[in-house]
Amino acid sequence: MKILNIYKSEPDDTVKKLVEIVTRDRESDSFDLNTDSPDYDLLVDKIFEADQTICWW
Partner 1 sequence: MEYKKVCLMYRHEDYAVDGIRSALGLAVENMYAYGVVMDVEIPKLDDLTIESIEMLRDMEGNVYSTIPANVEKNGFESLTIEELGEKLREMTHIVPYGPRK
Partner 2 sequence: MAKSLGIFVTTLGSLQHVIGITKAAKAKGSNVKVFFTWKATNLSKEPDFPALCELADDVSICVDSYQKQGFSVDDVPEGLTAKKMATQAQHGIIIEDFDCYLSL
Per DSSP, the three-state class of 17 is: helix
- CA distance linking residue 41 with residue 36, whole number of Å: 15
Residue 1 is a binding residue for partner 2 (CB under 8 A): no
Q: Which of residues 3-32 bind partner 2 (CB under 8 A)?
A: 6, 8
Identity of the residue numbered 8: K
Q: Interface residues for partner 1 in 16-45 (CB under 8 A)? A: 17-18, 20-22, 24
Dihedral of the alpha carbons of 7, 11, 16, 18, in degrees to the nearest 10: -60
Subset of 30-49 contacting partner 2 (CB under 8 A):
33, 38, 40-41, 43-45, 47-48
What residue 21 binds from partner 2, partner 1, none (CB within 5 to 8 A, per partner kind)?
Answer: partner 1
